[in-house]
Amino acid sequence: MSEPYEHVPHHLLHRRVRDIASGVEGELMAVVYENVSDAPTEHWVELAYIRGASGLEFTTAAANVEPAD
């Protein structure tokens, strides 16, 4: 089995972004290619980790991240 995640470069790292799915804004802390399956078959997705105003991080699909105006 391979590593559970791999960091992915992203042009918005450490910038203020918006999750278009929820409308929540925060700082993009990381984008990772992560195995989200707990089954024998791996399922890899690109997840964005965003730190909101509360200081807590949440995840969303990397495709849902856009610059905050």
**What predicted TM-score, i.e. pTM, was given to this entire model?**
0.87
Which H, E and C letters describe 17-68, residue by residue?
EEECCCCCEEEEEEEEEEECCCCCCCCEEEEEEEECCCCCEEEEEHHHEEEC
Determine the Cα–Cα distance for residues 68 and 20; give it in Å rounded to an integer.
10
Output the six-digit token pair for 1. 């089995």
Chain segment 28-58, per-residue pLDDT in tens: 999 999 988 889 998 899 999 999 999 999 9
Average pLDDT, rounded, for the chain: 93
Determine the Cα–Cα distance for residues 55 and 23; give it in Å rounded to an integer.
17
Q: What is the pLDDT of residue 2?
A: 59
Chain segment 4-25, per-residue pLDDT in tens: 778 999 999 999 999 999 999 9
1 pLDDT above the threshold of 50: no
